[in-house]
Amino acid sequence: MAVTTGALSAEASTMDPNTTVIRVPISSLKPADSPRLEGEDEAHVKVLAEIATTLPPILVHRRTMRVVDGMHRLRAAVLRGEDSIAVEFFDGDDADVFVRAVQANISHGLPLSLRDRKAAAARIAATRPNLSDRAIARVAGLSPKTVATVRRRSSDGTPHSDRRVGRDGRLRPLDASAGRAAAEDLIRSRPNASLREIARSAGISVSTARDVRQRIEHAREPAPSADRNAVNSPHRGTSGGSDVDRVDAETNLSDFTSVVPMLMKDPSLKFTGPGRALLRLLAAHAMGPTDWERLIEAVPPHCISVVGDLASVYARAWERLGTELKRRRTDMS
């Protein structure tokens, strides 16, 4: 069940250019355990089937011959009447297949919806509770805050761990205060011990050991106030409506803007004039809350009124676009 460090690394999210590509019979392949809750998009399949350029190879789990990434491309090949398709093989364990599928769908192709990514994060958190919010966020294309919310909402019946694997693959305690307290005892009893010795004995990082030593030297508490709040306190992990709603409101923007780089690679958009125009507009708006705050501060007093009116008009135009696309999606389902 353990995920290798490489399965969560940046290099694992892209295909190795040295990997051998071979053609295999389509009949030999099994459908993907897809993170797409609603399955493949029929319209996207048709668009891919009509593209004249060669599509990238699909990714297949070698042992089971199950598609890991590329169901749209596979169905497009079937629609074109082909009986074989180019594949690259993935040799990970069964437990790694879903994580790899999410990574692949996040990095290219038709973007996963926010609902898909949240469901994927919940599944990964349930099967690998020792992974940190940041590690899961990187895989699922979400913000760590959103992953934390998803984890809280789906934590019932899920095994808990007091240690988490970070993005760098290192295992660290969920509550750093215990490690800091142990480091304090070691520093006071063995003042000449090296930071590495203290870190290894207390189960913390060298930088944390250094911070504890500096705090002791300055007669301060070994842990910041935030660390002294127990991770498993009675108030932590509750799903009260106001708290969850506030986190969702804060993180939605970053969750959605993370999709824009994937859309930029979508052939059904980048190979058409209107599609490219849409991508340029989306890219121009793919900014975080801090970036928007800078724009607000950059508007001089004599332009506030006209820029504010323009922003409201453009916002209504985007709202109409969103409403129309949602209606179109409903009509197609």
pLDDT at 26 over 90: yes
Confidence band of 107 (pLDDT split at 50, 70, 90): confident
Q: Which pLDDT score is estimated for 176?
A: 65
Residue 167 has pLDDT above 70, yes or no: no
Burial of 57 (0-12, 13-18, 19+ CB in 10 A): buried
**Is the predicted pLDDT of residue 221 greater than 70, yes or no?**
yes
* pTM, entire model: 0.49
For residue 169, pLDDT over 80 is answered with: no
What average pLDDT score do residues 240-268 get? 59
Report pLDDT digits (tens) over 257-292.
667 777 887 887 888 888 888 988 888 887 776 777
Is residue 186 scored above 50 in pLDDT? Answer: yes
What's the mean pLDDT in 12-18?
Answer: 45
Higher pLDDT, 172 or 43: 43
Answer yes or no: is pLDDT of 256 > 50.
yes
Question: How confident is residue 106, by pLDDT bands cut at 50, 70 and 90?
Answer: confident
Q: What secondary structure, in 3-state letters, does the chain show?
A: CCCCHHHHCHHHHCCCCCCCCEEEEHHHCECCCCCCCCCCCHHHHHHHHHCCCCCCCEEEECCCCEEEECHHHHHHHHHCCCCEEEEEEECCCHHHHHHHHHHHHHHCCCCCCHHHHHHHHHHHHHHCCCECHHHHHHHHCCCHHHHHHHHHHCCCCCCCCCEEECCCCCEEECCHHHHHHHHHHHHHHCCCCCHHHHHHHHCCCHHHHHHHHHHHHCCCCCCCHHHHCCCCCCCCCCCCHHHHHHHHHHHHHHHHHCCHHHHCCCHHHHCCHHHHHHHHHHHHHCCCHHHHHHHHHHCCHHHHHHHHHHHHHHHHHHHHHHHHHHHHHHHHC
What is the per-residue pLDDT across 126-150, written as a single tens digit (0 to 9) for each? Answer: 888 888 888 898 888 888 888 988 8
Model confidence band, residue 15 (pLDDT cutoffs 50, 70, 90): very low
pLDDT digit string, tens, across residues 70-103? 999 999 999 999 999 999 999 888 768 889 999 8
Q: What is the pLDDT of residue 291?
A: 77
